[in-house]
A and B are shown apart, each in its own frame.
Chain A
Amino acid sequence: MSGHLLEVNDLKKHFPVRGGMVGGKGGAIRAVDGVSFSVDRGETLSIVGESGCGKSTVGRAILRLMDVTSGQVVLDGTRIDDMSAGSMRPWRRRIQVVFQDPFSSLNPRMKVRDILAEPLRNFGLARGSKATEVRVGELLDTVRLPRDAASRFPHEFSGGQRQRIGIARALAPEPDLIICDEAVSALDVSVKAQVVNLLQDLQRDLGLALLFISHDLAIVEHMTHRVAVMYLGQIVEIATRTKIFGQPKHPYTFALLSAVPVPQPGASRTRVVLSGDVPSPINPPSGCRFHTRCPFVFDRCKVEEPHLRAISPGQEAACHLHDLPAEQNPLA
């Protein structure tokens, strides 16, 4: 077996669409349509893309919060996508999640102590109330919250503090991988920085792998090792951070990066503005899914679907441009 902590192979998740009143056989929303990637121990992989590209669905499928349509999710050499709910439970300990909304991700009726004790009790990680109390205290220390937070309700905290409680809950079962589903998107900038720094410190101290789902490229550039760029349910480019931010090899990545504001007055930049909207995932375009909006589109893109392939070491992109001679390739 390979040494990857998490491996996702050709993952597909289609949501059936019921057509009309009679519920006739409609099409399907291809939210995730053939996604493959891997995450190593202690590594941060970011999945970026605009709203509706399927990045959150990937996270939910890995967490088994929904069943996948096809494909495999392999955790430490074991397939977990086809396990029954019962045999899945011990594996759940190893993948935890932090959600976007710090207000709806904590049960308003449970005290912080009970929120943090729940995974401990589920996985038998603390025997007795005394051991639980000790562990809850440690978890609060880890996320830098005062210990008397344990006897408070979630609504008594600010957004950033609540997000730390969410992180503490994710840390409670000592997972190998934490999926951060837009975990800092709802926070304002200063709090965002605190939470990102906390996540980085935890990763360093605990050797956690992070799957960081985000649309915020600035944050991603700050903290990730590798980046996967998704468009309409597929990964169009996956590469290390320096490659993605230095030499993007897919036109979509290029356009995304050009939209990041530069925090410097008078800075000049080339802005690639895409025309049109994201096509419907019910009926994606033929050939390359991006061809309807690509500034460099040529004939082949409309008929043949490009596949991810190595462009340079540590960088894969799905684009026909790289088959062209270098002088005709704007992204070479």
Chain B
Amino acid sequence: MSAAFADRSLIPDHVVAAPDLPDIFPTVRRRGGIVGLIRRHPTTAIGLALLAIMLICAVFAPYLATVDPTALSPARRTRVPSAQYWFGTDMLGRDVYSRVIYGTRVSLIVGFSVAFLASVAGLAIGLVSGFVRVLDGVVMRIMDGLMSIPPILLAVALMALTRGSVGNVVTAITIAEIPRVARLVRGVVLSLREQPYVDGAVASGTTVPMIIWRHILPNTLAPLSVQATYICASAMITEAILSFIGAGTPPNIPSWGNIMADGRALWQVKPYIVFFPGVFLSLTVLAVNLVGDGLRDALDPRMAKRL
């Protein structure tokens, strides 16, 4: 029989002995701060800037708006955009610019609340489902059932049970979005459980709660954050759709959806009433998605170093 490792005494030591590695950690100077961010992640920077503008609009709406967004002015209906009415006025003479600025509040509140609530609830359900095998079947069949209904229809149906308010809109969209998060988290948990480092942790005496806390949860956050931004964006759109068809935000609170609904009848002659809230909605959704991509890269240590 052969020896792949020939008799070591015949070979000079320095040939066989493993040299210590010359390594290893090149120091890379990275530019920090805003300039660094713009250089390395220009799209994320654009997304953050847009989102910051929208946040400012929402927070400082009373100062940015030119007039009360609900003030009627029957004598000045359907004015085209001008120095006085930047985005024109609608068919009741309300200032579209002020309404759009105030509408930012509804969109951001709904988007962020739904993203947060659906993530937390979905994470909890997904973790339970991934770790408690007995419950897995039941929980996942319920989630499948919810998922078989398109989220918008489900939200419309839920809204039909209550009266229109921002809180109810948030609840309805959250319920519609939870199954997607739960399914994602469960899948991630199941694959992480099979990772050798989890086995290694078990072998080093780590208890199950600590394994979830230290090994499962941190590795779930990256995909979850991406999913959360997607949910945030889709919740904003769903809210606009609900408001557009009159099933969402009540008409006395301006939201992009109901501003567009008001302008719908006139869109061929006065397109700006629909145009401006539509642009705001698109830009906000785009911004959220860009920030989501940036977040994913930042949370993945491998991606972070490469970029």
- Interface residues of chain A, those whose CB is within 8 Å of chain B, are 60, 63, 65, 89-90, 92-93, 95-97, 99-101, 104-110, 118-119, 122-123, 144, 146, 148, 152-153, 155-158, 160-161, 166, 169, 172-173, 190, 193-194, 197, 217-219, 221-222, 245-246, 257, 260-264, 267, 269
30 contacts between A and B (CB under 8 A): A65-B199, A89-B205, A89-B207, A92-B202, A92-B204, A92-B205, A95-B203, A99-B196, A100-B196, A104-B196, A104-B197, A107-B201, A107-B218, A108-B219, A109-B219, A119-B205, A122-B206, A148-B25, A153-B301, A155-B301, A158-B21, A161-B23, A161-B24, A169-B200, A172-B204, A218-B3, A218-B4, A218-B5, A260-B1, A263-B2
Is there contact, CB below 8 Å, between B301 and A65? no
In the complex, residue of chain B having the shortest beta-carbon distance to the beta carbon of A102 = B196
Partner of A152, one of B25, B215, B302: B25
Which residues between 1 and 29 of chain B lie within 8 Å of chain A, taking CB atoms?
A: 1-6, 16-18, 20-21, 23-25
Shortest Cβ distance from residue B26 to the other chain A in the assembled complex, whole angstroms:
10
Q: Check B264 for interface membership: any CB of A closer than 8 A.
A: no
Q: Of all chain B residues, which has the CB nearest A107? A: B197
Residues of B within 8 A of A263 (CB): 2, 4, 6
Cross-chain contact B2 with A166 (CB below 8 angstroms):
no
What's the least CB distance linking B151 to chain A, in Å? 31
The 7 closest A-B pairs by CB, nearest first: A218-B4, A194-B18, A119-B204, A122-B205, A105-B196, A262-B2, A99-B196
Q: Shortest Cβ distance from A265 into chain B, in angstroms?
A: 13
B200 partner, pick from A93, A99, A190, A217, beta carbons under 8 A: A99
Interface: B214 (CB within 8 A):
yes
* A108 to B301 Cα, complex, angstroms: 7
Interface residues on B, range: 20 to 34
B141 interface hit (Cβ, 8 Å) = no
Residues of A close to B23: CB separation below 8 A: 146, 161
Closest B residue to A109 by beta carbon equals: B218
Cβ-closest chain B residue relative to A98: B200
Q: Which residue of A lies closest to B221 (CB)?
A: A109
Which residue of chain A is the closest to B194 with respect to CB atoms? A104
> A108 touching B204 by the CB < 8 A rule?
no
User: Are A269's CB and B2's CB within 8 A?
Assistant: yes
CB-CB < 8 A to A257: which residues of B? 1
Q: Which residues of B contact A93 (CB under 8 A)?
A: 205
A66 to chain B, nearest CB (A): 10
Q: In the complex, A107 Cα to B201 Cα: how many Å?
A: 9
- List A contacts of B205 (CB < 8 A): 89-90, 92-93, 119, 122-123, 173
Alpha-carbon distance between A218 and B206 when the two chains are bound, in angstroms: 35
A201 → B minimal CB distance (Å): 11
Interface assignment of B282: CB less than 8 Å from any CB of chain A? no
* B195 lies within 8 A of chain A by Cβ: yes
Q: Using CB atoms and an 8 Å cutoff, list the residues of chain B in contact with chain A.
A: 1-6, 16-18, 20-21, 23-25, 195-197, 199-207, 210, 214-215, 218-219, 301-302, 305
Interchain nearest-CB distance for B38 vs A (Å): 25
Given contacts A60-B199, A158-B24, A197-B18, list 4 more A-B pairs with CB under 8 A.
Answer: A107-B215, A107-B219, A173-B205, A269-B2
Task: Write the nearest CB–CB distance from B209 to chain A, whole angstroms.
Answer: 12
B18 & A173 in contact (Cβ 8 Å cutoff): no
- Whether B203 lies near A105 (C-beta < 8 A) is no
Given the complex, which residues of B lie within 8 Å of A219, measured CB to CB? Answer: 4-5
A118 near B25 (CB under 8 angstroms)?
no
Cβ A260 vs Cβ B2 within 8 A: yes
> Which residue of B5, B196, B206 contacts A101 across the interface (Cβ within 8 Å)?
B196
Are A99 and B199 CB-contacts (below 8 A) given A122-B206, A190-B18?
A: yes
Look across to chain B and name the residue whose beta carbon is closest to the beta carbon of A269.
B2
Output the least CB separation between A15 and chain B (Å). Answer: 15
Residues of A near B3 (CB, < 8 A) are 218, 221-222, 245
- The 8 Å CB contact of A97, one of B2, B200, B305, is B200
B4 contacts A260, C-beta separation under 8 Å: yes
**B21 contact from A105, A108, A161, A267, Cβ within 8 A:** A161
Considering the complex, give the chain A residue whose CB is closest to the CB of B5: A222
Smallest beta-carbon distance B275→chain A, Å? 45
B214-A118 in contact (CB<8A): yes
Known contacts A122-B204, A218-B5, A262-B2; A97 and B199 CB within 8 A of each other: yes
- Taking a contact as CB atoms under 8 Å apart, the answer to whether A118 and B203 are in contact is no
> How far, in angstroms, from A263 to B215 measured CA to CA in the complex?
44
Do A118 and B199 touch across chains, with their CB atoms under 8 A apart?
A: no
Q: Nearest Cβ distance between residue B191 and chain A, in whole angstroms?
A: 11
CA distance A78 to B201 in the complex (A): 23
Residues of A within 8 A of B210 (CB): 122
Is B214 in contact with A156, judged by CB distance below 8 angstroms? no
Residue of A nearest to B306 (CB): A155
**How far apart sit A133 and B21, CA to CA, in the bound complex (Å)?**
23
Q: Which of B21, B24, B196, B202 has the most CB of A within 10 A?
A: B196
Q: Kindly provide the distance from the CB of A197 to the nearest chain B CB, expressed in whole angstroms.
A: 6
- Given A155-B305, A190-B18, the answer on whether A166 and B200 have CB atoms closer than 8 Å is yes
A104–B193 CA distance with the chains assembled, in angstroms? 12
User: Smallest CB-CB separation from B17: which chain A residue?
Assistant: A197
- Which of B18, B204, B205, B218 gathers the greatest number of chain A CB atoms within 10 Å? B204
